[in-house]
């Protein structure tokens, strides 16, 4: 595609055939399903292997990877349905770092905007030679009143990689707003894969990280890069199996969210499905909170204090909300504060020096490799890297 999609009529053709807002799009909001759309709620296994679902049909161009499509092609994803593209999108918006990172893995330029750039941790790319993203160039879309429609008009992207149900349930949008932006600007294409804790997502399927990644590779016609990443991921998983200790030898870890240098309250996360927990599942981390009276943040939205943590007294404490810090900065602020705290200093994890950054909420293929490798070496004393950063760089740059 050599020209940016411009007039309204072109944009309407851009999503012909698929994103009927009254059909599969609203399944998660209304609790109902349209008569002419079939939605499967069968969830995939916790392994992140790619699968082809029999209920989905996708038509892609005959062009090879990296070749601009000369004819229209269609890709489907729930809850949006089938979206037909008249050309390969050039500019895009992503809802969070999961999808943004997938785009970087495919060799794309950074998205024009994401909901919260502060949670899109572009410093992970420092681990990959020759791959970088200027986080300051990514526009923040989420404000006090959610995401404004005017921003979509201003950015004028070719595709919005976001779950429209998220906007309607968390961003105060109406169905008419989604339809307006879909037809007047560009289609939505996405699914809220990072968490499985939203009740409005119960009526349509989730995707694993690599299932979502495969979908996005079809949108941008870069399936070859996806296949290379998928192979790399399989190799990475096999290396993990030799690092992870037997079940009885793994330390019990509590995962909590705490921001700031001197946290006093913590939002507890029970390890579950969703891409935000992929690194913890792959490392088979024993969840110290799972069989306690502590309620999952996604259910209660409640916080706990040091006294409650002391009752659980996990062997390892993993803290989210600290990814903006280096390991040294984390030790010199949060960990030091806990060591000097009257109650926190009594925690076994604090006494033994087993307080770590827990990894981000939003993970794409590159981010997941980096944080899983980091945590494997932290928790299990793996003595070498479990993936080759240069190979990641080669895939991103198309050198394979």
The string of pLDDT tens digits covering residues 229-263 is 999 999 999 999 999 999 999 999 999 999 899 99
Pairing, β 304-305 against β 316-320: unpaired
The answer to whether residues 365 and 210 touch, using CB atoms and an 8 Å cutoff, is yes
Integer CA distances (angstroms), 93 to 96, 108, 162, 189, 291, in order: 9, 12, 8, 10, 39
Cα distance between residue 321 and residue 287, in whole Å: 18
Cα distance between residue 132 and residue 339, in whole Å: 35
Cα distance between residue 157 and residue 5, in whole Å: 9
Chain segment 156-198, per-residue pLDDT in tens: 999 999 999 999 998 889 999 999 999 999 999 999 999 998 8
* Domains, in order of start, for the chain: 8-234 (3.40.50.1980), 245-381 (3.40.50.1980)
Q: Any residues with CB less than 8 A from the CB of 163 and at least 6 apart, and which?
A: 79, 95, 188, 190, 191, 192
Global pTM value: 0.83
pLDDT, residue 200, reads: 93
Beta bridge pairs of residue 357: 319
pLDDT, residue 170, reads: 87
Segments of the chain with pLDDT less than 50: 1-69
- The Cα angle at residue 388 between residues 384 and 390, in degrees rounded to 5: 135
- The Cα angle at residue 192 between residues 5 and 42, in degrees rounded to 5: 115
pLDDT, residue 171, reads: 86
């Amino acid at each position: 595609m050599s020209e940016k999609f411009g007039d309204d009529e072109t944009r309407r053709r851009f999503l012909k055939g698929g994103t009927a807002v009254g059909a599969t799009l609203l399944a998660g909001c209304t609790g109902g399903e349209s008569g002419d759309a079939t939605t499967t709620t069968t969830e995939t296994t916790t392994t992140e292997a790619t699968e082809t679902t029999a209920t989905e049909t996708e038509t892609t161009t005959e062009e090879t990877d990296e070749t601009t499509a000369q004819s229209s092609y269609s890709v489907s994803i729930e809850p949006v349905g089938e979206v037909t593209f008249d050309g390969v999108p050039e500019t895009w918006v992503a809802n969070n770092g999961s999808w943004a990172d997938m785009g970087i893995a495919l060799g794309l330029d950074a998205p024009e905007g994401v909901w919260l750039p502060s949670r899109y941790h572009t410093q992970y790319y420092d681990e990959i030679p020759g791959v970088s993203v200027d986080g300051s160039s990514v526009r923040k879309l989420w404000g006090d009143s959610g995401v404004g429609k005017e921003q979509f008009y201003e950015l004028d992207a070719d595709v919005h990689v976001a779950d429209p149900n998220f906007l309607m349930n968390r961003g105060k949008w109406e169905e008419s707003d989604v339809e307006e932006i879909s037809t007047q600007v560009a289609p939505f294409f996405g699914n809220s894969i990072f968490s499985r804790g939203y009740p409005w997502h119960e009526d349509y399927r989730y995707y694993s990280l690599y299932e979502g990644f495969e979908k996005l590779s079809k949108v941008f016609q870069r399936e070859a890069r996806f296949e290379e990443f998928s192979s790399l991921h399989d190799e990475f998983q096999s290396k993990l199996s030799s690092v992870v200790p037997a079940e009885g030898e793994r330390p019990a870890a509590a995962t909590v969210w705490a921001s700031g240098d001197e946290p006093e309250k913590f939002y507890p996360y029970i390890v579950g499905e969703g891409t935000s927990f992929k690194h913890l599942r792959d490392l088979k981390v024993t969840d110290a909170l799972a069989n306690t009276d502590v309620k999952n943040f996604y259910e209660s939205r409640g916080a706990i204090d040091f006294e409650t943590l002391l009752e659980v007294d996990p062997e390892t404490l993993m803290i989210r909300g600290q990814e903006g810090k280096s390991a040294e900065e984390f030790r010199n602020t949060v960990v030091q504060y806990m060591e000097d705290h009257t109650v926190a200093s009594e925690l076994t994890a604090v006494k033994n020096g087993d307080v770590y950054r827990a990894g981000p909420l939003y993970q794409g293929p590159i981010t997941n490799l980096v944080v899983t490798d980091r945590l494997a070496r932290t928790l299990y004393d793996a003595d070498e890297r479990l993936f080759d950063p240069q190979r990641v760089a080669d895939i991103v740059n198309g050198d394979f």
